[in-house]
């Protein structure tokens, strides 16, 4: 039976709630030596080196800190992509305990950090992020003047978002969905059962009253 990629990711994130980052698995992502000289349209191949044969996820965190599920490669090298558009932009494969991901034609939207993720013993393990960015273009330096608000000086450079915090918030969001959605469904079923029980009891009481008359 096929399982949708979204369900696979939710199940994995549900297992991760007790602890997301583990230390018992050896996961490392390697890239070509010329990754610092990426060009638009170039093919980029990443390799996830592991010591387990339990399948692996590839996840992309873009420059805004948003997580994108790319593909799941199971233990027999079967691939499950997030959607049809993702399947046309990426290639995935497996050899022994190494998992490969290739960006067919690198574009600015592919910039960010790439993670290899494994679910082992009901724990979710992340590899160190592999950065992949196009060479920065030379731009004239600009100075940001502090703004004054309410008599206080605010420096805009102090308000840079924390990517790791954003990633943690996204993972917590998936965990909350995995836990609270089934719980809410169970509460609705209990409420329906209670209403049906009250209606049946009221009908039974009316029948008894009629028999006594």
- The mean pLDDT of 95-107, rounded to a whole number, is 95
Q: Which residues in 175-186 are b (16+ Cβ under 10 Å) and which e?
A: beebeeeeeeee
In tens, the pLDDT along 132-145 reads 999 986 555 555 55
CA 78, 81, 84, 86 torsion-angle sign: negative
In tens, the pLDDT along 141-160 reads 555 555 555 555 555 555 55
Q: How far is CA 202 from CA 67, 188, 195, 206, in A?
A: 53, 21, 11, 6
CA 136, 140, 141, 147 torsion-angle sign: negative
Taking the whole predicted model, whether its pTM rises above 0.75 is answered as no
Quote the percentage of the chain above a pLDDT of 90: 38
In tens, the pLDDT along 73-89 reads 999 999 999 898 899 99
CB-CB contact of 44 with 102 (8 Å):
yes
Instruction: Give me the phi and psi of 91, to 5 degrees please.
Output: -125, 145
Share the mean pLDDT of the chain: 77
């Amino acid at each position: 039976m096929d399982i949708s990629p979204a369900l696979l990711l939710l199940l994995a994130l549900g297992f991760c709630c007790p602890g997301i980052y583990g230390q018992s698995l050896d996961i490392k992502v390697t890239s070509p030596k010329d990754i610092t000289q990426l060009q638009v349209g170039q093919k980029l191949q990443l390799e996830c080196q592991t010591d387990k044969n339990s399948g692996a996820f590839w996840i992309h965190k873009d420059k805004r800190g948003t997580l994108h599920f790319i593909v799941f490669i199971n233990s027999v090298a079967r691939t499950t992509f997030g959607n049809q558009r993702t399947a046309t932009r990426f290639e995935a494969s497996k050899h022994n305990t190494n998992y490969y991901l290739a960006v067919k034609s690198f574009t600015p939207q592919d910039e960010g950090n790439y993670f290899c993720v494994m679910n082992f013993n009901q724990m979710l393990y992340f590899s160190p992020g592999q950065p992949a960015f196009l060479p920065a273009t030379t731009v004239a330096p600009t100075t940001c003047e502090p703004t004054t608000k309410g008599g206080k000086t605010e420096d805009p450079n102090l308000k840079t978002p924390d990517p790791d915090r954003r990633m943690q918030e996204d993972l917590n969001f998936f965990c909350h969905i995995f836990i609270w959605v089934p719980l809410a469904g169970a509460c609705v079923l209990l409420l329906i059962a209670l209403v049906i029980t009250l209606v049946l009891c009221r009908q039974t009481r009316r029948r008894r009253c009629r028999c006594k008359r």
